[in-house]
């Protein structure tokens, strides 16, 4: 009898869990929808001048026009490819150097002071140098994005390796684990949470740096679309490009979060407890 009641209760709990998940997801749209309504109301009452802050309808109209003639998807695609290439290059370099400086005190002594000094260089300061070295083509753009991605990934990974619990390392040494097993069984799992935080921060900076990169003589991309909107006096195109940047950044960040959640599903932390309570 009890088993029958439990079996009957399972579908109900599953339906309740799915309903709660939908409600949680919908909460994230409350602020954007409220901002959109306020923006539309202020534009409709004349508080915002159409020449300065166009209405949402004007922005949507211009974006649909670009979409209809096939230009919009080309701009989105080339910008996404640039961010992806820069992200992979910057994250790869940061992973190697961050792991080396975090694990080896000697490597940290040689490399970290220089990397910390370069971190303080403003992003736009690299632009003339990259143009001089690599021209205005794709290599310079991808390298500029990679620079933005590199530093948060490097810092979080190095700090994550150094923050590994000393007792875990001592237990590994007592059990005669070699260097490879120590890294693979102890350091990698313990460092992954910090590493994914760095990847998320690096990805966000990649989307920020791509704007500066596309000011370097680009003829396509969302950054070029913003420049074109400025040159032709179309603020609706500029705002539309900003909205597309925000959407693209959020989508890619959500994909990275989903990947991290799948890889780190063994974690027993507050976030996992909250997810279990929500379920």
Q: What was the pLDDT predicted at 267?
A: 67
Q: Is the pLDDT of residue 144 over 70?
A: yes
Q: Is the pLDDT of residue 10 over 70?
A: no
Cα–Cα distance for residue pair 173/164, rounded to 1 Å: 14
Cα–Cα distance for residue pair 96/30, rounded to 1 Å: 41
Cα–Cα distance for residue pair 75/40, rounded to 1 Å: 26
82 in helix, strand or coil?
helix
Q: What is the pLDDT of residues 199-248, one digit of tens each?
A: 999 999 999 999 888 877 778 889 889 888 888 888 999 999 999 999 99
Mean pLDDT of 95-111: 93
Cα–Cα distance for residue pair 121/206, rounded to 1 Å: 16
Q: What was the pLDDT predicted at 7?
A: 47
Sequence-separated contacts (24+) of 40-43 with Cβ below 8 Å? none
Q: What is the pLDDT of residues 248-257, one digit of tens each?
A: 999 999 999 9
Q: Which fold has domain 57-166+192-278?
A: MetI-like fold (1.10.3720)
For residue 173, which phi and psi values (nearest 5 degrees)?
-70, -35
Cα–Cα distance for residue pair 53/3, rounded to 1 Å: 62
Mean pLDDT of 27-49: 85
What's the chain's length in residues? Answer: 279
Question: Other CB atoms closer than 10 Å to residue 268's CB: what's the count?
Answer: 8
Residues contacting 49, CB < 8 A, separation 6+ = none
CA dihedral defined by 153, 156, 160, 161, rounded to 10 degrees? Answer: 50
The residue among 152 and 213 whose pLDDT is bigger is: 152
Cα–Cα distance for residue pair 243/249, rounded to 1 Å: 10
Q: What is the pLDDT of residues 105-130, one digit of tens each?
A: 999 999 999 999 999 888 778 888 88
The residue among 237 and 2 whose pLDDT is bigger is: 237
**CA distances for 172 relative to 106, 158, 194, 195, 212, angstroms:** 22, 20, 21, 22, 46
Residue corresponding to tokens 């940290």: 108
Nearest to 144, CA basis, from 129, 161, 165: 129
Q: What was the pLDDT predicted at 234?
A: 87
Confidence of residue 265 (pLDDT cuts 50, 70, 90): confident
What burial class does residue 59 get, using C-beta atoms within 10 Å of its C-beta: 0-12 exposed, 13-18 middle, 19+ buried? buried
Residue corresponding to tokens 């080396």: 100
Q: Is the pLDDT of residue 131 over 90?
A: no
- The answer to whether 209 touches 145, Cβ cutoff 8 Å, is yes
């Amino acid at each position: 009898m009890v088993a029958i009641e439990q079996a009957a209760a399972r579908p109900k709990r599953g339906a309740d869990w799915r309903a709660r998940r939908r409600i949680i997801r919908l909460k994230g749209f409350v602020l954007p929808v409220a901002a959109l309504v306020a923006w539309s109301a202020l534009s409709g009452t004349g508080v915002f001048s159409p020449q300065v802050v166009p209405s949402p309808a004007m922005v949507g109209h211009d974006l649909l026009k670009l979409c209809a003639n096939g230009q919009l998807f080309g701009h989105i695609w080339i910008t996404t490819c640039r961010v992806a290439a820069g992200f992979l290059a910057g994250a790869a370099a940061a992973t190697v150097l961050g792991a080396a400086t975090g694990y080896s005190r000697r490597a940290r002594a040689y490399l970290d002071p220089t990397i910390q000094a370069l971190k303080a260089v403003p992003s736009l300061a690299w632009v003339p140098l990259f143009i001089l070295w690599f021209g205005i083509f794709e290599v310079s753009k991808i390298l500029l994005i990679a620079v933005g991605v590199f530093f948060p990934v490097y810092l979080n990974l190095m700090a994550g390796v150094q923050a590994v619990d000393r007792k875990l390392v001592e237990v590994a040494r007592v059990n005669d684990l070699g260097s490879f097993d120590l890294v693979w069984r102890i350091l990698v799992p313990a460092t992954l949470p910090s590493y994914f935080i760095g990847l998320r921060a690096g990805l966000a900076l990649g989307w920020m740096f791509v704007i500066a990169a596309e000011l370097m003589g680009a003829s396509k991309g969302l950054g070029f679309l913003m420049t074109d909107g400025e040159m032709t006096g179309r603020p609706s195109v500029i705002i539309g490009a900003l909205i597309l940047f925000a959407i693209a950044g959020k989508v890619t960040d959500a994909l990275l979060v989903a990947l991290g959640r799948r890889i780190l599903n063994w974690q027993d932390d507050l976030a996992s407890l909250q997810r279990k309570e929500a379920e």
